[in-house]
Structure 1
């Protein structure tokens, strides 16, 4: 029973930490462009081999 007095506050601290990290990532623009990475795989890019 006494372990709950340690685990509950610890889990709340971890949850708040992850929430703050997520909010910081959103504010810095980490998730602002969701289309370009998905479309990049569809672009036809040819790589020219340089042979000597």
Structure 2
């Protein structure tokens, strides 16, 4: 029974910390675009620009 005196406040602090981290993530737009990064892997990068032939003297 005495262990509950320690475990309940620790649980409350951990839950408050998890809620604070979640609210921070929502406020900083961490959940705006969930599909964009997943689809970006399917597309190739831009093709490299053609290099100019060097003038040889």
For the aligned residue pairs, the C-alpha RMSD in angstroms reads 1.6
Larger radius of gyration: 2
What stretches of structure 2 of length at least 5 have no aligned partner? 49-57
Superposition TM-score, scaled by structure 2 size: 0.71
Q: Which runs of 5+ in 1 are unaligned?
A: none
Q: TM-score when scaled to structure 1? A: 0.77
**Regions of 4+ moved over 4 Å:** none
